[in-house]
Amino acid sequence: MATATFGVADSPPAPAPKALGPALSYADALILGVVEGVTEFLPVSSTGHLILASKVLGLDSDLPLLDAYGHPILVARKGEAAQPLSLKDAVDNYNIIIQGGAILAVLILYWRRVWTVLLGVVGRDPKGLRLFRNLFVAFLPAAVIGLLLKKWINAHLFSPGPVLAALIGGAILMLAVERWRKKSSPGGAAPEGPDLHELSWQQSLLIGCCQVFSLWPGTSRSMMTIVGGYLAGLRPVRAAEFSFLLGLMTLTAASGYETVKHGAELVAGLDLGPMLFGILVAAIAAALAVKGFVHWLTGHGLTPFAWYRLALALGWIVVMGW
């Protein structure tokens, strides 16, 4: 576990700025919260958008964060010497913790489904128990691979270049999958398909394996799980609902892990007020986005989001460069 080590002085000097560069302000938190909330459950990659937004806001600085006495905040990683905590490292970690707002939105909007799952876990609802099994099976692949590759992913993929490549690749995949789905349902007359608890564990595992690809920032967890839902026979709205509920489990694990591992150093390096404000903004934005997305997906599918991803990637390359 990472630990924050604070400098010690016999006569503490006056408090210094928390960073040798821009710090996380309420304005920054507002923007990150809106970006996280709007994009978390849309097939456009919230992590990719947060990486790009952090760069635009100047929050990708490698300059060290300082504690209240002007000393660098040292972070000891397992098997490595303590290193100063940079603003980029802190904001990258916060961009995972801010997903707590999206978790809150799903809990509120889908409380009946969540309650059914909880009843199933305690043996009072057979359908809820099967739904929990399906969600847990779908959760496992990304959880295992994510833990094994987390360090490598953070070191190599948390930058605009890999994000742009994933945005473009994901858009092409979405266009292909939507074309396949429409061909398989000629005339737009699609069968209702299975309910979420009626999926087999093999179908759930297929969705979970698709979610693994979303570990690449810019790919989109929502996009991959909805595509996996299509392949498992779910209709668009139910595929989206499974994605939301699976996200509740996945995001809770990821956000909780980051909070336990990096919470102390973030509180030391970034102001708590803006961080909590960003999470609240993300919850409100996510609730609004989810309601609108379900309605939009019914009539338009994933195609408009694919074109948006292409436009975003090409626009970034033209304006900012690769």
Residue range 127-184, pLDDT digits in tens: 999 999 999 999 999 999 999 998 899 889 988 999 999 999 999 999 999 999 888 7
Selection from 226, 218, 220, 219 nearest residue 243 by Cα: 226
- C-alpha distances (whole Å) from 105 to each of 51, 261, 286 are 22, 24, 6
Cα(102)–Cα(198) distance, integer angstroms: 26
Residue 299 burial (CB count, 10 A):
7
The answer to whether 271 and 18 are in contact (CB under 8 A) is: yes
User: 175 or 71: whose pLDDT is higher?
Assistant: 175
Q: Percent of the chain having pLDDT more than 90?
A: 69
Q: Which residue has the tokens 């600085």?
A: 61
Beta-bridge partners for 84: 74
pLDDT at 209: 97
**How many residues are there in the chain?**
322
| Partner residues linked to 66 by β-bridges | 72
| Number of domains within the chain | 1
Q: Is the dihedral of CA 167, 170, 171, 172 positive or negative?
A: positive
User: What does the pLDDT read at residue 20?
Assistant: 43
CB 302 within 8 A of CB 226: yes
Full residue range of the structural domain in which residue 191 is found:
3-320
Query: How many Cβ atoms are within 10 Å of 314's Cβ, its own excluded?
Result: 13
Mean pLDDT for the chain? 88
Give the model's pLDDT for residue 141. Answer: 97
Would you state the structure tokens that stand for residue 99, as one six-digit string? 């997903």
- The tens digit of pLDDT for each residue in 224-283 reads 999 999 999 998 889 999 999 999 999 999 999 989 988 888 888 888 999 999 999 999
Angle between helices 236-269 and 201-212 (to 10 degrees): 50
Between 20 and 42, residue with greater pLDDT: 42
Tell me what pLDDT residue 191 has.
57
Using the predicted structure, report yes or no on whether residue 122 has a pLDDT greater than 60: yes
Two tokens at 138?
């779908």
Q: Which two tokens stand for residue 78?
A: 């397992």
pLDDT of res. 44: 93
- The answer to whether 169 touches 219, Cβ cutoff 8 Å, is yes
Tokens standing for 308? 């948006």
Categorize the per-residue pLDDT at 308 as very low, low, confident or very high, splitting at 50, 70 and 90.
Answer: very high
